[in-house]
Amino acid sequence: MRGGRAVLVGLAAVVVCSVTASAQAPLTDSEKEIEKYREMISDPMSNPGFLNVDRGEALWKLKRGAKDVTLEQCDLGEGAGKLDGAYAKLPRHFKDTDKVMDLEQRLHWCMQNLQGLDTADVVKRKFGGPGRTSDMEDLVAFIANKSSGMKLATPVQHPKEKEMYEVGEAMFYRRGGQWDFSCATCHSEDGKRIRLQGLPNLGKPGKQVQETMGSWPTYRVSQSNVRTMQHRLWDCYRQMRWPAPDYLSDGLTALTVYLNKNAEGADIQVPSIKR
């Protein structure tokens, strides 16, 4: 049985993360058609993600919670209410919590502490779906858009930021789940793909990780929703057959710190649009 399980795991790895014959191989006809499709949907005027940006701006200015105040005094790292460039430097250490937080963690903290908001419904709707919007996805789209055109510069200077980077790196290579997969199984070599979908190498600094991390949050055409990095990582763990990570967990923030640091200097263009 052990030998059979090993064979099945090996086959799963081949099926899920197949390696191209050459990273520089010419594009197939199918791949060329996919590139055409991506060009067609890249026009911002065709991107429904900007509807999320508009809803996020309205939520940012909406008085809510027991204190009946807006989020406009929420400090995302650049000072109370300052949004320009804030997303580009997240996750980061915050003195008032003595924690490294990503944007969604920080927004959740501001909702609870600044607004006095019961966030149970916000967390329940953390990911949008048919007939259901997500406050978090809307707010992230709005705030991240304020950093579009800037460079990704997640700080790794404070001792707790360095610790989170190290934890994130360990998580990236940690194997587990039903298929004994890690993030690195699919994202640590050049030239890998799932069927026709290229898999960027996220384990080393360079163009691939920069293009990836600089394009989230994104509008997913296949899901008809804006998705944040919290959702992207949650979905990756789901696909690897790991237990689902907790929303707003420090582990997901640590992994984001590691990936963002590898992508340092990336051009931020969000919300982007993907298949």
Catalytic residue list contains 17: no
Packing angle of the helix pair 103-113, 135-145 (nearest 10 deg): 110
Bond into 271 cis (ω within 30): yes
Answer for the pair 262, 36: CB distance below 8 angstroms, yes or no. no
Listed residue (39, 38, 37, 81) closest to 57, CA to CA: 81
For residue 36, give both structure tokens. Answer: 């055409």
- Beta pairing partners, 100: 93
Query: Which positions ≥6 away from 181 have C-beta within 8 Å?
Result: 13, 16, 175, 240, 241, 242
Q: Return the sign of the alpha-carbon dihedral for residues 94, 98, 99, 104.
A: negative
DSSP assignments along 49-92, one per residue: HHHHHHHHHHHHT--BTTTTB-STT-BSSSSBT--TTTGGG-SE
Q: Which of 74, 183, 186, 236 is catalytic?
A: 236
- Indicate the pairing of strand 92-94 with strand 99-101: antiparallel
**Catalytic machinery residues:** 236
